[in-house]
Structure 1
Amino acid sequence: MSEQTERMQSMYHLQHDPFGALVDAMVFSGAGGRYETAETIRHLLTYSQQDSLVLGRAGSGKRMLAQQVLKMLEEHWRVAWIDGSETDSLVELLREIVGQLGLGLRVDADADELLQRVMEITSARTRSDESFLIVIQFADRLPIDLLAKLKVMRGSGEALEARVRQLWLCNSLDDFAAPIDLDDWYAHPLERLTDPAAEQYIKDRLIAAGNVSEVPIPVKDIHRLNHMAGGLPDRLNERARDYLISATFKTPVKGQSFPLTHVIAGLAALVLVVIAFVYNVSERQVKVTPVVALPAESMPAESMSAVEKKLAEAVANVEAKQQTVAQVAVPEKPLETAALTAESIQPVVASGTAQPAPEVAVDNPAGEVPRALTAPVLAQTRLLLSADPEAFTLQLIGVREKSKLDRLVAEFKVPESVDIVESLRQGQAWFVLIHGQFATKEAAAQATADLPATFKNQEPWIRTFQSIRTDAGL
């Protein structure tokens, strides 16, 4: 288990990763009509002359559905599970069927003779109240000759009542090497999850992992994650896991009493407002535009008069005196909130004319779905915007002061492999350092061994560029 997953389970009091393989084996979510589909398939396998085809894109939950069907079958069923992507000969196919069904046949005989013996024995044992089922995952990857042999195994006429039943899982009928006669099959397409179905799916997964309280993901964010996942359960698992892990990087904000310095600043503001009224009557106003976002208590980022600028600086100076600059925060430790210093507020004056504030892309430092952020900031990162959206990168660290990341960039042998992504966090500037572009998560994990000494004892967060862009609203 990764440290990130362990931290997520601890934070939400979960016994297992709610979106991992262990929960896959423990629970089946019937969201999106999938339970009804499983019950239909069970009924058809027991009573119908037709076998069943489950159709759906990768990640739509075909395997989970088939496993649920097996759980619903009675004890007298004998099942063989075949991986069509790894089976390319009749001998190999029959060896798996004989072994998993427990037929007790020698597999060194002629393949066609062995196929005939399999049909005879299963037919005889069916009369003794046994039933046999072959589940073929990736059935659309089977060679033409194996498809033909499986059709032979279906038998004909009266033999249909005593034959080995078949359940095939595939992406599309168009992907088969040979046409499929739908008179012999009942097709069950798996639809994408609707937003209400996604809500139920997330809830089911969390309950299976031990979460008995309120779902920690707001409904509107579940809908957003579902759209990002394209309605596919497997991808929704990944998005929801990233969402919950991101919450473990948030810094808790402690309640504070109203400070005396704010009272003083308020009185100073009142005096300055009076001065501003007199000043604006006799003097021409000079407009300025702040470059960075002011704290939540400060004035909005609009054009300000010279006196209003002084007022903003006075309040910022009072704030700066009661706060200390945060230390560099790493993902493995709780993030600390750093204060904006007086020097960090540098207005720009352009010949007395108000200049519009540049637009900057909002990045999210911890993969959380951004809510109620201020106006977006300029998309300035070369690596984030040029990389393959499906590629992976390492998110190394997040800080309040960009200068600290500038020093870290110098530690990399290839500076072009790293980038600093600017965003907003709790209304203030936030900078994240990312490194590398990798085709797989495994490649990204291996690359951590080559990181500078500063990051040797850390566990970087492996993310896709698309997840960073989506969270940033790009």
Structure 2
Amino acid sequence: MRGANNSCRVKDMTVPGGIEAFLDHYQLTHDPFAARTPGFKFFTPQRKNVLAELHHLARFGNRALLVTGPHGSGKTLLRQALVASTNKDTTQCVVTTAKEFPESGGLMGYLCQAVNASGRNVEALLDRAEQLHETGVQLYLIIDDAELLEQQALQDIVDLCLVDGEDSALRLFLFADPHIDQALDKIEIDASDDEDSDLADTWVHRIVLQPYSLEETRDYIAQRLDAAGQGIELVDDAQLEWVHDHSGGWPGLINSAAMKAMQDAMDEQERAVEGPKPGLPLKTIAALVLVGAGVAFAWWMGDQEQQAPVETVLQLPEATTPAVVNADPELAGLTEMDSLAISPAASETPVTQTDSQEPQPLQDPVVIDTPPVPDAGTPPVVVAGSPAAPSITPSPVAEAQAPVAATPAASRATESSTTASTAVPAPVPSQSDNGAWYREAAASEYVLQLLGSRSQDAAKSFISRNSALADLDFFETRHEGQPWFVVTQGRYATRQQAQAAIAALPEPVKQLKPWPRSVGNIQSAMQ
């Protein structure tokens, strides 16, 4: 039941972005989970016993043979192995599928044509089967997806194999989903005597396929990866358990689930290298912040426009000492001027004049420029020869101090610019020049491949962030006409040593699913 439920989730899985990127990332020679692959080998556990049983019953039995299992259970693969393992000198196999010939007329016509029968009906097919039998050749009729046969077509094909009973010149093989049970219940058997009555109950021998165990699932995936040039080390234990759980142990669904698990691991590696992509460019965000700040400042200035002159007048007296405060306007002006002259901060702070008059110099040697006051009509204060004159003498001193106060700031700016001009970016740790050591190393050695990326900067950044790891390096190859940068770690004499070294890697690096790769394979990729 678990496998049936999970099949809805994994049977339609495909590789996003195409198979080429997947093969390039894992350095596979072909898709290891395709239905038929180069160098394909029939997976023997469980199915080997079923295959042997089919051959035995076909040779010594007298019943139709029915193999059932859910979608993805390996029925078609078993049927192909059956045909491939038959003796061509003593057996002629006619293979078809109910997807192409679901109705009786089309199915019978195809079978007759396949054996070169004289006609296109049941009698012609039986005559041809008998002719073959007399020459020592038995006819195997093999129908896949038999649950799709119409009721009459199924009835006619069953009648063929029951004509001569045990001495029948042909054998019938049906491969179907369990849904065929409803059609089988409607099959009519002519039970005219006791022998036929027994045959009505036992005319078909059913073989029910079983799912793989966890260990068998691992061996199945290992065989698929080995045929594609790699090994089971590409899939860790957690991925293996996930594949087995989501496939229910059925071979067809194992292919889909294993492909998805490896694709997800590949995507995680690429995200770890490239990092999250920002939602908006930095320049756009900065522009929005500046615009927002400008709008807020303009609103605040408009709201405070009428209060600004009053605030300026009230702040100036607060900076003076109580001893010199006087109600006389001229003394108030002097007090205000003294506070500006004595305070270095005030002398360095520019004062914006909104409605002031230009100060008028007089004949006296000392002229004081006063800041604006609330009353626009108040003339600038002029002090000439009065006892209060000594109190304003620091004004030239304050003017002279302004350049001195700016000197440390200028020196700091000079130091900052000097530091910025001499700053050198930290070198990215690398033991090779464009992968030179890969070419010089022995082809039998191994490294751990950590990740691949189309960005050289991303590869260098990853090496820089993980500089604590020894023997981190990257090499450049090409994929689909574009540069492809692959980061590796370590240098090991054998694949086993490289596989064992994975356990000692930091946890974030282990999450990238590193796997052993031979230096010879890398040298071939770099050519």
TM-score by length of 1: 0.49
Structure 1 or 2: more helix by fraction: 2
Greater gyration radius: 2
